[in-house]
C-alpha cells in the first residue's frame, strides 16, 4: 500500500470524515471505497454498448436527429402541453356571472 498526498476541498473532507465517524470506519477506507465506486462506474459506462435510437415520423423525415433537435422538439411539446393545460384551467375558472350576455 502506498502513501500519497492529495488536495481535497474542505467541505468534502468534512463530509467524508463525518461519514467515516457515523459508520465507525477510517477516513482512508471511506475514501478508498468512493474512489473504487467512481472507477467501477466509469469502467461500466465505457464498456456499455452504444444505444442507437430509431426515429420515424414527420418530425424526423427519415433522418437522424441531433441531440439539439430532439431537445428542441421536446421543449416545443412541453410548451404546447403547458398552453393546453393553462387553457383548460382558465376555462374551469370562468364565472358565468362575468361573461358578457349574448
Tell me the pLDDT tens digit for each residue of 52-102: 766 665 554 556 778 888 899 999 999 988 888 888 776 666 656 555 665
pLDDT value for 102? 56
Phi, psi of 42 (to 5 degrees): -65, -45
List the chain domain ranges: 10-47, 54-95
Residue count of the chain, please give it: 102
Beta strands in the chain (DSSP E): none
Tell me the pLDDT tens digit for each residue of 3-39: 889 999 999 999 999 999 999 999 999 999 999 999 9
Tell me the pLDDT tens digit for each residue of 46-63: 888 887 766 665 554 556
Strand (E) or helix (H) holding 67: helix 67-92
Amino acid at each position: 500500500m502506498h502513501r500519497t498526498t492529495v488536495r481535497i476541498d474542505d467541505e468534502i473532507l468534512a463530509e467524508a470524515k463525518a461519514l467515516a465517524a457515523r459508520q465507525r470506519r477510517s477516513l482512508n477506507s471511506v475514501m478508498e471505497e468512493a474512489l473504487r465506486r467512481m472507477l467501477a462506474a466509469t469502467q461500466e459506462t465505457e464498456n456499455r454498448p452504444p444505444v442507437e435510437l430509431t426515429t420515424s415520423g414527420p418530425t424526423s423525415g427519415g433522418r437522424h436527429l441531433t441531440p439539439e433537435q430532439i431537445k428542441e422538439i421536446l421543449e416545443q411539446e412541453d410548451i404546447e402541453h403547458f398552453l393546453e393545460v393553462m387553457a383548460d384551467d382558465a376555462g374551469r375558472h370562468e364565472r358565468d356571472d362575468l361573461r358578457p350576455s349574448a
